[in-house]
Copies of this chain bind each other. A is one copy, B any other.
Amino acid sequence: MKKSIKIVAPATVANVGCGFDVMGFALPYPNDELVIKLGHHKGVRIHNHTPYPLPNTVMSNCAGRAAHAYLSAIGRKDLGVTIHIHRKIKPGSGIGSSAASAVAAVKGIQLLLGRNDSEQTLLQYCMQGEQAASGAMHADNVAPSLMGGFVLVRSHAPLDVISVPCPTNLFCTLVHPNIEVKTAAARQMIGQSISLRNATAQWGNVGALIAGLYTSNYALIGRAVHDTVAEPLRAQLIPGYRTLKATVMKAGALCCNISGSGPSVFALSTNESTACAIGKVMSHQFQQQNIECRTYVSTIHQQGAAVY
């Protein structure tokens, strides 16, 4: 049995406009990097080597709780597991920072122990880990972070996730402005019920987005990434969001929407030069408001969590 492993789990864009809680895709960067070591102590320990003040008790830390859930389920709570968090997606960024930690921990332990649990099985423990941060059990970040690519969550109970193909020329521009949005608070904004009219529009768009991905119909993808449920409420959390979106669409994006519960914003386009131009537009918009930001341009990342 190996004693140590270095593993990387990617950031993810969840919701993807219309697919609140059911869709997400992976990005090649940023990502979480964990080194997981087996030792002679008992239970899980966390060492945070990043500049972020992460929760350091096992059950309140995403990686810790996910590792604990996995080890409990396989009857190996006796194992001594030390998780060194070396690189971390900034918490509260809206690109699945807690999901990536949970996924890296579970996937790393699986590889260390040489187990062959299915992805659907592993996802259960990843979701428990992510719950430590978001308060909700959902798989739209953990699933693409574990599996890579574009993922649809048909059902959470029982968990039923589907990998959906992506057109090769689908580029994502992501901007992460340096403002804070609390996932739990952003979820509360939506409330417990929605209008049937908005709901119907939403599931029409979800179906159309899946159809667009299967047929590489970029225009349809663009029309379908439209959110009647979360974006209208959460837009106010991101300063200048409406102007940003309008400018990004003018720069040639197929679509633009909030990544997860924000504050990150993503746009899709069909070529790298447009994707880069969109990144410049995004940066400019936030800089004009004196908000620092980072932009990332890539295709959809087909690789999930893996040994580095």
A225 to B186 alpha-carbon distance, docked (Å): 31
Say if the beta carbon of A286 comes within 8 Å of chain B. no
Interface band, chain A: 35 or more
Which of the candidate stretches A71-79, A201-209, A289-297, A300-308 sits at the interface with the other chain?
Answer: A201-209
The residue that A207 contacts in the complex, of B19, B194, B200, with Cβ under 8 A, is B19
Closest to A197 in B: B192
- Chain B, Cβ-Cβ closest to A208: B154
A155: Cβ under 8 A from any B Cβ? yes
Query: Copies of this chain, how many?
Result: 2
Q: Answer whether residue A185 sits at the interface, using C-beta atoms and an 8 A cutoff.
A: no
Q: Which residue on B lies nearest to A18, using beta carbons? A: B203
Contact of A204 among B152, B215, B223 (CB under 8 A): B152
Q: Are B207 and A22 in contact (CB under 8 A)?
A: yes
Question: Which of B153, B194, B223 sits near A160, CB closer than 8 Å?
Answer: B223
Chain A positions 146-170 with a Cβ under 8 Å from a chain B Cβ: 152-155, 160, 162, 164
Instruction: Please pick, from B162, B193, B205, the residue contacting A194 in the complex, using a CB distance under 8 A.
Output: B193
With a 10 A CB-CB cut-off, give which of A152, A190, A204 has the most chain B CB atoms: A204
Name which residue of chain B comes closest to A212, CB basis. B162
A191 in the interface (beta carbon within 8 A)? yes
**CB contact under 8 A between A152 and B208, given known A191-B196, A193-B195:** yes
- A211 adjacent to chain B (CB < 8 Å): yes
Question: Is A20 positioned at the interface, with any CB of B under 8 Å from its CB?
Answer: yes
Which residues does A use to contact B, with CB under 8 Å? 18-23, 152-155, 160, 162, 164, 190-197, 199-211, 214-215, 220, 223-224, 229
